Amino acid sequence: MKSFSGTAYRVRRTAERSKNTSVKNAVRLTPYALLALLLISFVSPLFAATGDKAMVITPDFRATQAALEILKQGGNAVDAAVAAGWVMSVVSPQSSGIGGGGLFLFYDIGTRRILFFDGSVKTPAKAKPGMFRDAKGNLLPYQPERNTGGLPVGVPGFLKLTEEVHAKYGTHKFPFEKLFDPAILLAENGTEVSAELSLALRENAERLNLLDPSQAVFFKDGVPLPKGATFQQTDLAKMFHLLQKKGPSAFYKGAIATEMIRAVHKDKFRPGFLGGRDLEGYTAAEREPVHSTYQGYDLFSAGPPADGGVMLFRALNILSHFGMPGLGKSPEAYHLLGETQKVALAYRDGVADPDMFEIPLTELLSEAWAQDRAGTIQFDKILPFVKASQDSGPVKKRSGISILVVDPRGNIAILTATLGDAFGSALRVPGYGFFMNNLLTDFDGGPSSGKDAASEGNITGGQRPRGPEAPVFLFKEGKPAMLASAYGNEEPAVVLLNVIVPRIDLGASCVEALGAPRLLAGDKGLRMEKGLYDQEMIRMKLELLGYKIEKEDTIGVAQIVCFVPGSGKIEGESDPRAAGQAEGF
């Protein structure tokens, strides 16, 4: 059932359509352009990237360059985001790929509508409560028993998501099959191992070797490939070619589907339930975005089953009761930021698959709830940390990607994707070179004392798990003002709260907001990045309130695009804490 009624949100037209130029329906990468893609090394920019017409931000320079090439040849934001997504599956196979799920938040300048497309994974029909428990009813240890092998594999949705969004909003200049071309070039000709991939290989070597001891692609002589090594993925390129020739049907009910099912069912470590009907019956869903307001801005984000946008908006609703701009960068401001995280993010019940549950969004985002929660925050004491109900067991090291695109017409897109943990289930499909997700671990482990077996947190067949993604558009007076997203290990809602507050409440520039030191409230106290921890007066005052404070090198990875009022300029910044790239023209 639908979680709330109404048509997609509309905002006033902000730009005239630009005239399209005639180009060939292909991504033209000359040998020199290809060489640049393969050899260029990324260095974090000191200043925001700027553009008059367009902006692209991705976690990897190779994906950014592929998206820019699409835009410069007349493609739109959907074309560019999808092409960049496939490149990311080649250069960052630990974070995303065709074996996982994704979300697409889109502003269509032609209709002035903001749309949300849900390509998250679904449980196989045979999935059941208690599937992650042993014969005695005890929850299996998370790694490797729950997060590895065929058991945690959900029905992949990323391919269907990109196909369906492109069919509705992509351009005819770039047919869907042509958007694989940049990824195919990198997979066939080889590309360099990034620092992120190298680290993920080292951290997950045991899981990867457990399921495929040969690991010919990512290991050499039993050792994970180091940063800078060249690796080729011929099987992955073969799959992309097959999809170009036969379309997505080859994945959901053809040769690739057969091999996926075989791999999941015959997994020697922990076989799973994925079946042919599960794949054939998968569809992406077009849903309403969630909407809120803050300090004169309209905010839009992905709705359920993603809960990151809901949690971010709840936090901002609480902050709106305190006059954050007047506090500046004071100890009181950081105390308020930490306490808000505690009361806004601890209670996540109610967000689930809207096709199976009635989602009380009006209640979750109500002024009454925010006012009640704000009333619990005091400036002379701290609240206890309440662990979220879904956070049982060890902290998951979620991996993922986010791609932001603004095109010359004025369309805006944020594409997020994930396999779950790094390399997902660590199960790589033989002959086709992609990893399967382990996103069924986003559900609770199954019925336990005090839990209703029909709870939205428990596993039933055909259900989408809730995820933490929080892509967000900010509009002011009907015009795009900012877009942002976050990915990686930390809670996206918390990371974006640390970006939006400096930008909106403290008047920080795009670069300053992204670079501002971050604070995260947890069960052990406050975690602070060095730039904040080293401010002794602030730290001492917070410690006097009773906080236990830990220093962190970095907290989260975010991306931000700002539309500069009155100038027509677009500024984009990829988090200096990671190796992404922002570039505009």
For the segment 270-298, the average pLDDT, to the nearest whole number, is: 98
Tens-digit pLDDT profile for residues 75-115:
999 999 999 999 999 999 999 999 999 999 999 999 999 99
> Is residue 34 assigned to a domain?
yes
Tens-digit pLDDT profile for residues 121-144:
999 999 999 999 999 999 999 999
Q: Residue 346's pLDDT is what? A: 75
- What's the gap between Cα 489 and its chain centre? 10
Indicate the pairing of strand 285-287 with strand 113-119.
Answer: antiparallel
- What's the gap between Cα 522 and its chain centre? 21
The lowest-confidence range among 385-399, 444-458, 523-537 is 444-458
> Is residue 192 assigned to a domain?
yes
> Is residue 301 assigned to a domain?
no
Instruction: Say whether 584 sits in a helix, a strand or coil.
Output: strand
> Is residue 419 assigned to a domain?
yes
Q: Residue 397's pLDDT is what? A: 75
- Does the pLDDT value for residue 22 go beyond 70? no
Q: Residue 480's pLDDT is what? A: 98
Closest by CA to 225, choosing from 201, 206, 208, 190, is 201
Confidence tier at 446 by pLDDT (50, 70, 90): low
Q: Residue 238's pLDDT is what? A: 98
- Does the pLDDT value for residue 46 go beyond 60? no
Q: Residue 410's pLDDT is what? A: 98
Task: Tell me the percentage of the chain whose pLDDT exceeds 90.
Answer: 82
Q: Return all residues near 223 (Cβ < 8 A) that are at least 6 apart.
A: none
DSSP 155-207: BP-HHHHHHHHHHHHS-TTS-GGGGGHHHHHHHHH-EEPPHHHHHHHHHTHHH
* Overall pTM > 0.85: yes
The lowest-confidence range among 194-198, 305-309, 519-523 is 519-523
Phi, psi angle pair for 583, to nearest 5°? -155, 140
On whether the CB atoms of residues 404 and 49 are closer than 8 A, the answer is no
> Is residue 516 assigned to a domain?
no
What is the average pLDDT score of the chain? 89
Phi, psi angle pair for 157, to nearest 5°? -125, -5
Q: Residue 569's pLDDT is what? A: 96
For the segment 314-326, the average pLDDT, to the nearest whole number, is: 95
Give dist(CA 98, CA 77) in Å, integer: 20
- Does the pLDDT value for residue 20 go beyond 60? no
Tens-digit pLDDT profile for residues 403-418:
999 999 999 999 999 9
Dmax (CA) for the chain in angstroms is 66
Q: Residue 496's pLDDT is what? A: 98
> Is residue 518 assigned to a domain?
no
- The number of distinct structural domains making up the chain is 1
For the segment 483-495, the average pLDDT, to the nearest whole number, is: 96
Tens-digit pLDDT profile for residues 226-237:
999 999 999 999
Q: Residue 388's pLDDT is what? A: 58
CA distance between the termini of the chain: 42
Confidence tier at 355 by pLDDT (50, 70, 90): very high
> Is residue 83 assigned to a domain?
yes
Range of the domain at 222: 9-48+60-102+114-282+400-442
Task: Tell me the percentage of the chain whose pLDDT exceeds 70.
Answer: 88
Q: Residue 213's pLDDT is what? A: 72
Residue 526's DSSP bridge partners are 521, 549
> Is residue 498 assigned to a domain?
no
